[in-house]
Amino acid sequence: MDTNNTVNLTGVLKKVLYQNEESKYCIAVLESNQKVCGQYFDTDIKKLEGEEILLKGNWETHKKYGVQFAFISLELKEREIFFFLTKIVKGITKKVAFELTTKYTEEELCEILDNEPSKLLEFKGIKEKKLIQIVTSWNKFKHLREMANFLGQYGVTKNMINKIFQEFGEIDNLIEKIKTNPYMLINIKGIGFKRADEIARALGISEQSSFRIMACLNYTLKEYCDSNGNSSISKEKLFSLLDISLNFNDKNSLYEDSIIEMLASDTLHETSKDRFSPSMLYYAEKKILEFFESRQKLQIPQTIVKDFDTYITKKEKTLGFILSDEQKKAVSLINDGENTILLVGYAGTGKSTSSRAILELLEEIVPFGDIQCIALSGIAAQRISETTGYNAATIQSVLMANKEKDEFPYKVILLDEASMVNSVTFYQIISKISYDTVFVIVGDDGQLPAIGAGDILADAIKFNLCPASKLTKIYRQNELQAIATIANDIRKGEVPKYEEKYEDFKFIDVSIKNHFILKNTLSTYEFNDLRAENSYKILNQILNTSSEYIKVIHKLREEKNITKALTAFQVITPMKSGILGVENLNINLQKLLNNNKNKAFQGRLYQYKIADKVIHIKNENMQSLSMTEYKNGGDNYVDKRIFNGMLGMIIKLDFEEQKCIVLYPNDDTVVFYDFNTLDNLISLAYCLTIHKTQGMEYDTALIPMSFSHFIMHNTKLLYTAITRAKNMCYIIGENEAFQSACTKLEITQRETVITDMLTEV
């Protein structure tokens, strides 16, 4: 496309017809019915539906789809001052901003905010308290308008400016800092290296400067580790990725020079020959390896009970459960003086019972209060507490409570759901474990590995880093309970007997008849239409099945049993977009499961209502109160770290203060969100991706199954999804898609620093 001869097109974005998550290519239609297409990187373009946009590009005629406007840039078409007042300045609603910008010019409005703010009291919705908030916020952030003007000339959109503000709003002289190092912007989602590099090149940074190459190298390493879960990378792979990002060919000498400089500055480490890792991950996994090695060297054998068999026989009576030989082995390891063990088991193999038996044995020599269970999520922590009877908390809350201490004040620590714990978090835990503390690591290596870099549980098993007990025998009360057996068949790559009648599992078939014949005989366009039609049938069946839980959820809300209401029923799907993706399912499920008629807040994608089930999506310090303080009308807010994946419920929408108030019952926390940051921090959670549900457990789980999700289908994903269900699991969709997913083994091994160190030649 000739970028020097582009034309402008404006209109309201009516509907996104198609989008590709990887390439960001999309097709949409305006309210004028003009079709537009192109790549949009700033955010999910569906969030712009209903907004007036400005496009730059050219008209073209497609052989199949006819006349359409191919855009090279897309921006929200609103006055800069309106954007600033509604997105940056706290306390001004869109309605008030519209009234202000209608009555005053931009210059007049800036003059009023600077020198005569009392004039704003004439506008409905602005009172003395609100005015103080507006003026304070204006004075704090007005310099960011200069930043918007500065970055706007490089194609950085208003949405991106808002994200930059969220990340760097507290930094002084931000424009000068960006001019000095535009690569500081690369970690803003939607900017990345490419956009930051365009700004840098425009500011005169040389194409072959080491500054540019090292910025790209750092970014590439981080992206590779974050997106693939690896903590190290080969030189060959790293150089090929650099070639793509820098648009170089055969510039290995430049890369080598940058690597030498980064090795010298301790920002990069060579883990083994021609393999590299970012410093943070290198040191985390190196220290983890040293921890396991030192625990074996410092071990002091001791026997807790001398007559172990007699003890176990008595204990089985109180447990109400006969321990298998595998489970007895786990307990005997502790009895024989092991201070660090792995308890690894698949779904339904009795990990919780074994954990309880181990902790009760340790209570023979350790006070109850010195035993602490930890897990990544609040729901997982609550579950391990209920099943073992011992104190449990989230990893992060225990870390925060002991951040001023060198060591945890516990004699026994049990880490549950260890497969979910990445390298950095695992290092944070072991760095505070004293030499004489017993450490029990419980996990299921059949599940998806951790979100983030590293694969500590798998590495510990593979390299025998400590004694392990592997549980393989599946326990169930009767033949009609099948969740565990079906999940474990799938884990092994086998198609289970899924169409039989069970108490806790049901497959509802909504298939395309003669799927493979039609795929080979119809045109791609015709078959895609057929697939979309079937996806809507699956959606309708999901909604029909979900409707059976309306009364259950409503009753739990009325009883103020919020924890149970959040986990009573969950839809789980592998992808975000599409008819059966998270976003569309959330919109439809909200209409079904939350009939609250009070005023709602409209975000970019979702409408948020009181009693909505939501999930926090970004680690962030937030203004918070404990549940008791909130109930008592307290306003002594504290900044508390709220973590990605926390599940909560909206309990209040304060339109005067522009606040959304969310209760997180498992963490005894009430969090106050500003309306203008809501889209970046929470999402509806009636439907979640499989990755988001790791470590969680729901009374009932429902999983769509369609060939439209084929790219995401594999045994680990499906095993993880099914094992989220405690009492009932529904799978709704295409028979052949399910059978295909059951046999698509996921055998990818993560590349880790520990593996590099222990396999180095």
Q: Which residue has the higher pLDDT, 689 or 76?
A: 689
pLDDT tens digits for range 621-656: 899 999 999 998 888 888 888 888 899 999 999 988
Q: What is the spatial distance between Cα 352 and Cα 345, in angstroms, rounded to a whole number?
A: 10
Joined together, the tokens standing for residue 447 give 């599940």
The yes-or-no verdict on residue 4 having pLDDT over 70 is no
Cα 725 to chain centroid distance, Å, stands at 20
Provide the angle, in degrees to the nearest 10, between the axes of the packed helices 524-546 and 582-593. Answer: 30
Please give the Cα distance from 166 to 159 (Å, whole number).
11
pLDDT in tens, 156-197: 766 677 777 777 766 777 788 888 888 988 877 777 888 888
DSSP H or E segment with residue 438: strand 438-443
Dist. CA 498–CA 501, nearest whole Å: 8
> What local confidence, expressed as pLDDT, does residue 732 receive?
96
Res 761 pLDDT > 50: no
pLDDT at 431 over 60: yes
Give residue 159's pLDDT: 66
Mean of pLDDT values over 371-394: 92
For β-strands 647-654 and 52-62, DSSP reports them as: unpaired
Q: Is the Cα dihedral 15, 18, 22, 25 positive or negative?
A: negative
- Bridge partners (DSSP) of residue 672 are 623, 661
Q: How far is CA 284 from CA 209, 265, 450, in A?
A: 31, 18, 15
For 543-579, the pLDDT digits (tens) are: 999 999 999 999 999 999 999 999 999 999 988 888 9
List the structure tokens of 306.
């001398």
Q: 690: exposed, middle or buried (C-beta count within 10 Å: 0-12, 13-18, 19+)? A: buried
Give Cβ neighbours of residue 584 (< 8 Å, ≥ 6 apart).
Answer: 539, 577, 578
If you average pLDDT over each of 54-63, 274-283, 614-623, which comes out highest?
274-283
pLDDT attached to residue 722: 96
SS3 747: coil
Q: Which of 125, 122, 118, 169 is nearest to 147 (CA)?
A: 169
The pLDDT, as a whole number, for residue 155 is 64
Average pLDDT over residues 40-47: 76
Q: What's 546's DSSP letter?
A: H
When mean pLDDT is compared over 79-83, 490-494, 665-669, the highest value belongs to 490-494
Cα 108 vs. chain centroid, distance in angstroms? Answer: 44
The string of pLDDT tens digits covering residues 314-336 is 988 888 888 889 999 999 999 99
- Quote the CA–CA distance of 382 and 393 in Å, as a whole number: 7
Task: Give which of 376, 310, 314, 364 is closest to 334, Cα–Cα.
Answer: 364
Euclidean distance between CA atoms 542 and 164, whole angstroms: 39
| 9 token code pair | 């097109």
510 has pLDDT over 80: yes
Sign of the C-alpha dihedral computed for residues 207, 210, 212 and 213 taken in this order: positive
With a cut of 60, say whether residue 683 has pLDDT above it: yes
Q: Quote the strand ranges of 282-380, DSSP E.
A: 340-345, 371-375
CA angle 448-452-455, nearest 5°?
A: 55
pLDDT of residue 301: 66
Mean of the pLDDT values across residues 420-446? 95
Read off the DSSP letter of residue 514. Answer: T
Residue 126, strand partner residues:
none
Percentage of the chain with pLDDT > 70?
96
Q: Does residue 80 surpass a pLDDT of 70?
A: no
Q: What is the pLDDT of residue 299?
A: 65
Higher pLDDT among residues 360 and 480, named by residue: 360
Rg (CA), the chain: 28
Is residue 236 classed as helix, strand or coil in its secondary structure? helix
Residue 420, pLDDT > 80, answer yes
Average pLDDT (6-22) is 84
- Segment 85-107, tens digit of pLDDT: 877 787 887 788 878 888 888 78
Structure token pair of residue 492: 């092994």
pLDDT tens per residue, range 583-600: 999 999 999 999 898 999
φ/ψ of 733, rounded to 5, equals 155, -145
Q: Helices (H) and strands (E) in the chain — how many of each? A: 30, 28
CA-CA distance, 683 to 666, in Å (whole number)? 18
Residues 120-132 pLDDT 10s: 888 887 888 888 8
pTM of the predicted protein model: 0.81
Average pLDDT of the residues in 462-484: 88
Cross-strand partners of 217:
none
Residue 78 banded pLDDT, cuts 50, 70, 90: low
Average pLDDT, the chain: 88
